Amino acid sequence: MTTTTPDHVDSERPHEGTDPGRGLRAVRVKVEPWDLEVGPISHLVAERERLASCRYDGFSVAPMSATIGGEITGLDLRNALDPELVAELRRALLDFKVLFFRDQPLSGRQHVEFAQNFGTLEVHPFLPANGELPELVRFEKHAEIGGYENGWHSDVSWRVAPSMGAILHAIEIPHVGGDTLFSDMYAAYDGLDDDLKARLEGLEAVHDFTRAFGRSMDAQARAEMLEKFPPTPHPVIRTHEETGKKLIYVNRFFCDHIVGLERDESDALIDLLSKKAEIVEYQCRFTWEQDSIAFWDNRAVQHYASSDYWPDRRVMERASIEGVVPR
């Protein structure tokens, strides 16, 4: 493979039989002529070490990747949680960005009650709900209804105040496939070079539900829903209101354009930033089991539901917690 030469390598030249990474001192190397970089991502070190030292009262957390994802043990979510325990779970969510729980056979009502510990719940205007509980979106996929959530995105970024978080419960899973992947958008921002960070400062992207949901509506229905949910601008680089950290806040599902840029430049920039979620080192991957639960910070992460199980059946229910206007 052809690579660019890093700025600093050991003075002793590698010789035949040595590892090709010898002497590169953890720098990223571009593989020419492709848009490809390889090598360690050194800016993840501090967060990985911080997460390894995190401790919580009432439960344990096992890290799942360098900077994102923690599996919780020691809790039965069917039980009422005291305020101190809720506060600890919120702290763990801010640390790990997405929390996972196994063996949690919650009823729909228990699912809603657990989610309400963290705020008021949304009712989704476009997706089907659990028949008894409008707060629960029901994703029921099978041979006649395929899964189209297999693209990196933040939920409902087209809302003026997108959801703070989401809690997804596995009701019925296929015998194989259907994993969900999550990507750390703090890490994605931190990996940008300084010139690009400066270019992005102050830019806003317009988010529009019609990009994903409009195609299933006729013109009248689309117009009516646009009255309720008009295209809305959000910062390209969002500052998380609780952690104070900056993160990339654009995605190809819902972003239509960046304000003030020509269409070609806008499309290219949205695509460039959205691709950062695809870097594997920023991700964790969760393989579902019956009654597993994922609770993610919808501000800090993007997610991707793998659609590799068709035509098998996969049923999930999600409660989403109201958020604030991004800044």
Q: Which residues belong to the active site?
A: 153, 155, 303, 318
| C-beta separation of 309 from 174 below 8 A | yes
Give the separation between CA 276 and CA 189, rounded to whole angstroms: 8
Give the separation between CA 237 and CA 204, rounded to whole angstroms: 8
The secondary element (H helix, E strand) that includes residue 226 is helix 219-228
Residue found under tokens 């911080």: 50
End-to-end Cα distance, the chain? 43
C-alpha 44, offset from chain centre: 17
Give the separation between CA 304 and CA 182, rounded to whole angstroms: 6
C-alpha 171, offset from chain centre: 21
| C-beta separation of 30 from 36 below 8 A | yes
The arrangement of strands across the sheet holding 204-207 comes to 232-235, 204-207, 255-258
DSSP 288: -
